[in-house]
Structure 1
Amino acid sequence: MTFRVAAYGVCLDHDRVLLVRHLAESGETTWTLPGGGVEQGEDPVDAVTRELSEETGSDGVVERLLGVDSRVIPALVAHAGVEHQNIGVFYLVRVTGGRLRAELSGATVEPTWTPMSEVTYLRRSSLVDTGLALAQNLPATGHVTSTPVGGLIQH
C-alpha cells in the first residue's frame, strides 16, 4: 500500500466554489479542489496555500481547519496499481488576490469558480464532496461520513 498526506483548500465565494480540472495520464479529466501532497518537512497550512498558488494563480489565506479525511483507493483504480491511502487535511481558504490561470507545468487546468448548484452534475473527485460537507457542517470532530464513489464521483 502507498500512502500520502495532502492538503486541500475549500475556497468559497457566496454560492461558488473554486475547482480545478485534473488531467489524468489516461486523458480523462475530473474536477477537484485545489491542493496536493504535503512535501517532507512542510506544514500542511503552507502546502495548501502553495498548491492554491501553483494550481490556480491565486493567493490565499487559511481561515480555519475544516477537518481530516482518510480514504483508501483500491488497487484496480489507483494510479500505481496498488492500494493507496490518502490522508486529506481540508482547510477553508479565502482567496486574497492573484489571477486565475492553469498550473504552469502540472496536471491541473481550468481553475473555475463553479456555482454550487452545478457541482452535482460534474465528474468530480470525492474530495470535492468531502470538502463541501466539512465546510457546510463544520463537525466538531472534523470528520464526515466518507463520500460514496460511483457515477460522476470518482476516487
Structure 2
Amino acid sequence: MSFRLAAYAVCIEEARVLLVRHVSSAGETNWTLPGGKVEHAEDPFDAVIREVAEETGCDAMVERLLGVDSRVIPAAEAWSGLEHQNVGIFYQVRITAGVLRPEPNGETAGSVWTPIPDVVHLRRSSLVDVGLALAQTRPLTGHVPPVSAGGLIQH
C-alpha cells in the first residue's frame, strides 16, 4: 500500500471557491483544491501555504483547520494500480495577495474562482467535495462521511 499525507486549501469568497486545473502526465485534466504533498519534516500548516503559492501565484493565510479526511483507494481504482491511503488535512484559507497564474513547470495549468453551484458540473477530484462539505458543515469532529467517487468525480 502506498501512503500520502497532503494539505489542502479551501478558499471561499463571495460564494465562489478557488479551484486549480490539474493536468496528469497522461494529459487528463480535472479540477481540484490547491494543495498537495506535505514534504518530509514539513508542518502541514506551512505546506498548505506553500502549495497555494506554488499552484496559484498567490499568498495565503490559514484561518482555521476544517478537518482531516482519510481514505483508502482500492488497487482496482487507484491510478497506480496499488492500494493507496491518502490522509488530507483541510484548512480554511484566505488569499491575501497576488495574481492567479499557472504553476511554472508544474501540473497545475491554471486556477479560477468558481461559483459553488457550478462545481457539480465539473470533472473534479473528490477532494473538492470533501473540502466543500467541511467548509459548509464545520463538523465539531472535523470528519465528514466518505464521498463516493463516480460520475464527474475522480480520485
Do they superpose with TM above 0.5? yes
**Secondary structure at 1:120 match in 2:** helix
Identical aligned pairs, as a percentage? 65
Root mean square deviation, CA, Å: 0.8
State the alpha-carbon separation in 2 of the partners of residues 104 and 26 from structure 1: 18
Partner of 1:60: 60
Partner of 2:76: 76
State the alpha-carbon separation in 1 of the partners of residues 68 and 128 from structure 2: 13
Q: How does 1:6-155 map to 2 (within 5 A)?
A: 6-155=6-155
**In the TM superposition, what is the alpha-carbon distance from 1:79 to its structure 2 partner?**
3.1
**In the TM superposition, what is the alpha-carbon distance from 1:37 to its structure 2 partner?**
0.3
Amino acid at match of 1:130: V
**In the TM superposition, what is the alpha-carbon distance from 1:76 to its structure 2 partner?**
2.7
For structure 1, list consecutive stretches of 5 or more residues without a partner in the other structure: none
Amino acid at match of 2:86: N
CA offset digits 1:106-147 (Å, max 9, x no partner): 111120000111000000000000000000000000000111
Q: Paired residues, what number? A: 155
**TM-score, scaled to structure 2:** 0.97
**TM-score, scaled to structure 1:** 0.97
CA offset digits 1:6-50 (Å, max 9, x no partner): 000001111100000111122111100000000010000100000
**Secondary structure at 1:149 match in 2:** coil
